[in-house]
Amino acid sequence: MACVVVGIVIGAGGAVIIMRKCKPRSDRSNDSDSSPDRGTPENEDVDQGLRVHDQSQRRVPLFTCGTTNNDGMQQMVRVMEQMVRVMKQTVRVLNKLQTELEKQTGDVRQKVENVEKDKKTNKKELESVEAELKEREANFDKPEYLVRRKEELLHTEWKWDEIKRIYDQQQINIDKMMELLVCENVTESLERSATDAGRYTAVTYETET
């Protein structure tokens, strides 16, 4: 008894190829006067493959009732080839994103190192000014230029702290994105799916989240 592909059910957990069992034309003509029960296996859709969640699923009709099994498989192959192209393109985009994130990580770390150096230089000068002010105050002398310089250095110290805080937050955000790409194996999972889809014409996909 032949089967034809009538559609694909797509859900949150994967996709299922739907096939219908069909009688040969000779058998159909003999049974023209007596229609079989709708509950018989000949009229039931047979799910081939992965389970589908009850929620968030939809049927995508791909073939008509008059489609032959060979035509249905050819159309299914075209759909699978399109899926492979999309996944390969996604892999290329993710690889490019990972390369860019690695570059940004190096840039941010270099900026943080430069800020740390500037902070140390500023701190040394501030300590020197404060020491001189303390010595002058002991002699009842408090030059105005030293007071202004101390205020400027304190403001600069605050500015460097803010800049470092911004860079640190940038690094945290980059690390989170890198973790999603590397630790969750997103790119590797897509590459495996694309390889499997290209190898088989009828295959069920399931992507872990």
Per-residue pLDDT reduced to its tens digit, 77-87 = 778 778 878 87
Q: What is the pLDDT of residue 55?
A: 39
Confidence class of residue 41 from pLDDT cuts 50, 70 and 90? very low
CA distance 49 to 15: 8
DSSP 143-202: -HHHHHHHHHHHHHHHHHHHHHHHHHHHHHHHHHHHHHHHTTTHHHHHHHHHHHHHH-SS
Confidence class of residue 115 from pLDDT cuts 50, 70 and 90? very high
**Domain final residue, candidates 33, 67, 101:** 67
Output 73 or 102, whichever has higher pLDDT: 102
Q: Tell me, yes or no, whether 49 and 98 share the same domain.
A: no
Q: Tell me, yes or no, whether 30 and 118 share the same domain.
A: no
The answer to whether residue 111 sits within a structural domain is: yes
Q: How many separate domains does the chain show?
A: 2
Q: How are beta strands 45-49 and 14-22 bridged, if at all?
A: antiparallel
The answer to whether residue 134 sits within a structural domain is: yes
The residue-averaged pLDDT of 120-141 equals 90
Q: What is the pLDDT of residue 39?
A: 44
The answer to whether residue 196 sits within a structural domain is: no
Domain range enclosing 58 = 2-67
CA distance 42 to 64: 17
φ, ψ for residue 24 (rounded to 5)?
A: -60, 160
Q: What is the pLDDT of residue 165?
A: 94
The answer to whether residue 203 sits within a structural domain is: no
Least confident of 27-31, 69-73, 134-138, 204-208: 204-208
Identity of the amino acid at 204: T
Q: What is the pLDDT of residue 206?
A: 39
pLDDT tens-place string over residues 167-206: 999 999 999 888 887 765 666 777 776 666 656 544 433 3
The answer to whether residue 57 sits within a structural domain is: yes
Q: Does residue 123 carry a pLDDT above 50? A: yes
The answer to whether residue 24 sits within a structural domain is: yes
Q: Tell me, yes or no, whether 105 and 167 share the same domain.
A: yes
Q: What is the CA radius of gyration of the chain?
A: 34
**Cβ distance 46 to 22 under 8 Å?**
no
Q: Tell me, yes or no, whether 96 and 60 share the same domain.
A: no
The answer to whether residue 169 sits within a structural domain is: yes
The answer to whether residue 75 sits within a structural domain is: no
The residue-averaged pLDDT of 9-24 equals 52
Which residue pairs, CB below 8 angstroms and at least 24 apart, start in 175-180? 175/105, 177/97, 177/101, 178/98, 178/101, 178/102, 178/105
Output 187 or 47, whichever has higher pLDDT: 187
